[in-house]
Chains A and B, each alone.
Chain A
Amino acid sequence: MTSTFLPDKRSGPDTAPPAPAGGPAPGRARRRVLHWLTAVSFQVPALALFGLLVLLPMLFALYASFFRWGGFGMPSDSIGADNFTRLFDDPVFLGDLWRCLVLVVFSLALQLPFALAMAVLLNQRLRGRAFYRMLFFAPYILSEVITGILFSMIFAPDDGLADHVLGGVGLDGIGGEWFSDPSTVMATVFLVMMWKYFGFHMMLYLAGLQSIPAELTEAAIVDGAGPWQRFRNVTLPLLAPTLRISVFLSVIGSIQLFDLVWVITAGGPDHHSETMAITMFQYGFKRYQVGYASAISVVIFGISLVFALAYQRFVLRRDLEGATTTMRGGGQ
């Protein structure tokens, strides 16, 4: 944001050219101050809100994570990094990290390719195309809580839809315990996640696909490229920016997953579907160990931050290069 107001680094036609060697003329300096004032006065309200509602609580959570603190009054019992060492000794939290990785891998390996396939399919001329698009997007519009309740009913033992349907084809009894069997609960939760979110990624891809000029595909056809070659060498490269964004959103979503799992299993059975956010909630709001819960939240934040920065630095760099918001020449 601030880069717009750094004239010495800009060379765009709408701003002042670099100052001559003799120093800026007085009128130009005044204009620069005015620029700054305008910028600051526009930003102050937003920055104040952001600081008060986002930065301050985050900093406070970081502070609280070094205390044994029950959430009453101000934290006073400082215990250094004990919360963090305890955290990385806790089999439940280590399990959370593992399950997070599993979800990320599943999302990238199954959900996104599926969404892409559906997007390519629904980008064809097809009778009822708009209807299908809407249908597949619909789960994304449902709230997480409604989705959770819906699926806990579908997979309810004995009375659930899954049990009835599977019973109807002779697979009696395997439909009911998907959420209550430790060995299947994660796969089932992932199934629900996939059902809920693939439509969103599909929509992203559809938008990306529509922006690919038809001429390119036509040219490829003229050159004798088959369908797979056209997809591999024309569609996929041009869709890459969209893919990169959707991978990013998918990973961050998996790291912070809470509500869907909370409603369906509350992390159970026996912690087998617990996520980091659920562990944090358990300690913060059930056990009143707010210091420890803060440490968990700090770790979640740290993981998200490291991922986001690394992803932007190494993967999104090309996409961000042309963006007006980056500081040109300032990239380290």
Chain B
Amino acid sequence: MGEPALSRRGFLAASAAAGLSITALSGCGGGSDGGSSGTTTLEWWHIMTTEPAKGVWASLARQFESQNPKVKIKIVALENEAYKSKMTALTASGKLPDIFHTWGGGVLKQQADAGLVEDLTDRTKDWAGTLLPVAKEPYLLDEKVYGIPDDIGMVGFWYNKALFKKAGIAAPPTTWSGFLDAVRALKSAGVAPIALAGKEKWPGMYYWAYLAMRTAGIDALQKAADSKDFTGAGFVEAGEHLKELVALQPFQKGFLGAAYSGPTGQSAAVGNGKAAMELMGQWAPTVERTEGKGLGANLGFFPFPTVEGGKGALTEVFGGGGGLALRQGAPQAAVDFLKFFASAGTNRELVKKTGTLPVVTAAEDALTDPNLKAVQAQLKATTGFQLYLDQAYAPAVGQEVNDSVAGLVAGSKSPEQVAQSITKVAKEEQ
């Protein structure tokens, strides 16, 4: 919360985030919509609780309202984890917000299977072609469109060029053994090589997932999910490679208790130059600037290295994005809003002001940041795409991946045990 001056809306949102009820926010923002007939009020839930995205998204909603005088948009912005919990409760109650944030994959599929999500295949087909194909993938379930992307990205290593130079590393590693060498070099230069948020388990999962993609191959991940068997050689091998890394003690001090954001978290550690790199999604530079000082021109990006003898290629990426879905039976105004939100104009604004990657092909010209351009180039040259495991798989399986990999990183689980416990949970999920 290091913003120097809070705007009125910012203050309201911040106080909502601080635990004051959401009704306080909507009471101030929404205005009265009772009496006037013919006015549609759309409730829009998203997870943009930090600036600049929070403000930009709110002003886009106002813009849509001014174009459509009969529509009012009520925004509820919740922090990531709070959003997930709240959505679980809402899903159980059987009524979702008109427009809501989704990561696609397994969770969206569960909601869609329960008949809670609107099938958008026909209602968006006139304009969905303008969107980047890789961005639409997470919301395509059984060849039906259940969401429209507003963000796409991938995970890779964000590193501090100055610290790499200090450790005498000429170029970012492209192989796993080269990567381990770089970690050793950084350690002997007195630099914490990697920042990891051990309290939150998903950042650790990225390592195992990428290693599995590099050893077992991207198809094996899908096959394992279908056959509910993660005990194949490639998966155990992935765990063994991660164990090699953990054995070097590459993480910052106290990483097992570290969160991702916050002044003492993973992002701040990299942003303040206390650790040399982190494996994180395309949002990393923004968060590094918010939570820490940011690295500016010293920040670099390199894709996850390949593993010698493994089936995966450097061009296969692990990632995901954000999208918007509609509740079953949402009014036409909500579909209109999706169209507005996925238009080139809106997308250009998002790219320019919030640092997201373009999802509309025509908005690519708005991208100027060299690191994000590198990510975008990587995404466009992608030969295989794997959605975040905790989104791609059923929630219980995804959480078990996070949980057991966290055990591996903490030293309490062996690579075999990780593979076995994921398999066990996958089998229990029918």
Residues of chain A whose beta carbon lies under 8 Å from any beta carbon of chain B: 70-73, 143, 145, 152-153, 155-160, 176-177, 179-182, 185, 265-266, 268-270, 282, 284-290
Indicate if the CB atoms of B407 and A270 lie closer than 8 Å.
yes
CA distance A181 to B406 in the complex (A): 14
Q: A270-B406, A282-B399 are in contact. Are A290 and B92 (CB under 8 A)?
A: yes
User: Distance (Å) between the CB of A264 and the closest chain B CB?
Assistant: 8
Residues B257 and A72 in contact, CB atoms below 8 Å apart: no
B19 at the interface (CB under 8 A from A): yes
> Which of B264, B395, B396, B407 is A157 in contact with, Cβ under 8 Å?
B264
Q: How far is the CB of A114 from chain B (nearest CB, A)?
A: 26
Q: Which of B259, B262, B274 contacts A158 (CB under 8 A)? A: B274
- Can you name 17 A-B pairs with beta carbons within 8 Å? A71-B88, A72-B110, A157-B252, A176-B253, A177-B254, A179-B254, A265-B199, A265-B257, A268-B198, A269-B198, A269-B257, A270-B410, A284-B88, A286-B84, A286-B395, A287-B400, A289-B396
Q: In the assembled complex, which residues on chain B have CB atoms less than 8 Å from the CB atom of A287?
A: 395-396, 399-400
Chain A's nearest CB lies how many Å from the CB of B199? 5
Chain B interface residue count, CB cutoff 8 Å, equals 35
Residues of A within 8 A of B19 (CB): 143, 145
Residues of chain A with a CB closer than 8 A to B420's CB: none
Contacts A157-B264, A265-B199, A268-B406; A288 near B396 (Cβ below 8 A) = yes
Q: Is B227 an interface residue (CB 8 A)?
A: no
**Set of chain B residues within 8 Å of A72, measured between Cβ atoms:** 91-92, 110, 113-114
Are A177 and B88 in contact, CB atoms less than 8 angstroms apart? no
- Residues of B within 8 Å of A153, CB to CB, are 263-264
In the complex, A284 Cα to B198 Cα: how many Å?
Answer: 22
- Nearest 4 Cβ contacts at the A-B interface: A180-B257, A157-B254, A269-B256, A270-B410
Query: A160 to chain B: which residues have CB within 8 Å?
Result: 264
B255 CB–A CB distance under 8 Å: yes
Q: Which residues of A contact B255 (CB under 8 A)?
A: 180
Please give, as numbers and ranges, the residues of chain A lying within 8 Å of B113 by CB-CB distance: 72
Residues of A within 8 A of B263 (CB): 153, 156, 159
- Contact partners of A284 in chain B: CB under 8 A: 88
Q: Is B37 in the interface zone, CB < 8 Å from A?
A: no
User: Which residues of the other chain, B, contact A70 by a CB distance below 8 angstroms?
Assistant: 110
Nearest-neighbour CB distance to chain A for B384, whole angstroms, equals 28
A-B contacts besides A180-B258, A270-B412, A286-B399, 17 pairs, CB < 8 Å: A71-B91, A71-B92, A73-B94, A73-B114, A157-B254, A157-B257, A159-B263, A177-B257, A179-B257, A180-B254, A268-B198, A268-B406, A269-B256, A270-B256, A287-B399, A288-B110, A288-B395
When the two chains form the complex, which single residue of A269, A282, A285 contacts B199, counting CB atoms closer than 8 Å? Answer: A269
Within 8 A of A (CB), among B250-285: 252-259, 262-264, 274
Instruction: Tell me if B36 is interfacial: C-beta within 8 Å of chain A.
Output: no
The answer on a CB contact under 8 Å between B399 and A269 is no
Give B36 Cβ to nearest chain A Cβ, in Å: 34
Q: Which residues of B contact A180 (CB under 8 A)?
A: 198-199, 254-258
Considering the complex, give the chain A residue whose CB is closest to the CB of B268: A159
Residues on A with C-beta less than 8 A from B21 are: none
- B32 interfacial contact with A, CB 8 Å: no
B91 contacts across to A, CB distance below 8 A: 71-72
Which of B252, B253, B400, B412 has the most C-beta atoms of chain A within 10 angstroms of its own C-beta?
A: B253
Q: Which residue in chain A gives the minimum CB-CB distance to B254?
A: A157
Which chain A positions have C-beta within 8 A of B257? Answer: 152, 155, 157, 177, 179-180, 185, 265, 268-269
Task: Give 1 or 0 for each of B372-408: 1 = CB within 8 Å of chain A CB.
Answer: 0000000000000000000000111001100000110
Min CB distance A317 to B, Å, is: 40
The answer to the question of B200 belonging to the interface, with a C-beta cut-off of 8 Å to chain A, is: yes
Contact of B256 among A156, A159, A268, A288 (CB under 8 A): A268
- Verify B200–A288 contact, CB threshold 8 A: no
**Smallest CB–CB gap between A30 and chain B, Å?**
48
Shortest CB–CB separation between residue A155 and chain B, in angstroms?
8
Cα A117 to Cα B199 with chains together (Å): 36
A114 to B395, CA, bound (A): 44
Shortest C-beta distance, A275 to chain B (Å), equals 15
The interface residues of chain A lying within 8 Å CB-to-CB of B67 are: none
A156 to B262, CA, bound (A): 11
CA distance A191 to B88 in the complex (A): 33
- What are the residues of chain B within 8 A of A177 when measuring CB–CB? 253-254, 257
Question: Given A72-B114, A152-B264, A268-B406 in contact, is the A285-B256 Cβ separation under 8 Å?
Answer: no
Q: Are B412 and A285 in contact (CB under 8 A)?
A: no
- In the bound complex, what is the Cα–Cα distance between A12 and B113 (angstroms)? 64
Nearest-neighbor residue (CB-CB) of B198 within chain A: A269
In the complex, chain A residues whose CB is within 8 Å of the CB of B410: 182, 269-270
- Which residues of chain A have C-beta atoms less than 8 A from B114's C-beta? 72-73
B85 lies within 8 A of chain A by Cβ: yes
| A182 to B254 CA separation, bound complex (whole angstroms) | 11
Measured between C-beta atoms, what is the minimum distance from B316 to chain A in Å?
28
Chain A residue with minimal CB distance to B89?
Answer: A285
Cα A45 to Cα B164 with chains together (Å):
69
Query: What CA separation (Å) do A282 and B399 show in the bound complex?
Result: 9
Cβ of A176: which chain B residues have Cβ within 8 Å of it?
A: 253-254
The 0/1 profile, CB within 8 Å of A marked 1, for residues 185-215 of chain B is 0000000000000111000000000000000
**What separation, in Å, do the CA atoms of A224 and B271 have in the docked complex?**
69
Nearest B-chain residue to A155, judged by Cβ: B257
Complex: A70 Cα to B399 Cα, angstroms: 14
Complex CA distance for A289 and B430, rounded to whole angstroms: 12
- Using CB atoms, name the residue of chain B closest to A284: B88
CB of A149 to closest CB in B, whole Å:
8
Q: Which of B351-375 contact A (CB under 8 A)?
A: none
> Chain A: which residue is nearest B253 at the CB level?
A157
Question: In the complex, what's the smallest C-beta–C-beta distance from A11 to chain B, in angstroms?
Answer: 50
Neighbouring A residues of B407 by C-beta, 8 Å? 270
Q: How far is the CA of A268 from the CA of B92 in the complex (A)?
A: 27
B82 → A minimal CB distance (Å): 10
Bound-state CA distance A179–B400 (Å) is 23
CA–CA, A155 and B254, complex, Å: 10
Query: Which residue in chain A gives the minimum CB-CB distance to B272?
Result: A159
Bound CA–CA A156/B113 (angstroms): 43
Contacts of B252 in A (CB 8 A): 157
In the bound complex, CA of A316 to CA of B92 (Å) = 41
B187 to chain A, nearest CB (A): 17
Closest to A156 in B: B264
Nearest CB in chain A: distance from B414 CB, A: 13
A255 to B263, CA, bound (A): 31
Cross-chain contact A285 with B396 (CB below 8 angstroms):
no
A265 to B200, CA, bound (A): 9
Can you name the residue of chain A whose Cβ is closest to the Cβ of B252? Answer: A157
Q: In the bound complex, what is the Cα–Cα distance between A24 and B286 (angstroms)?
A: 82
Which chain A residues lie closer than 8 Å to B262 at the CB level? Answer: 152
Q: Are A159 and B264 in contact (CB under 8 A)?
A: yes
Q: Which of A185, A265, A288 has most chain B Cβ within 10 Å?
A: A288
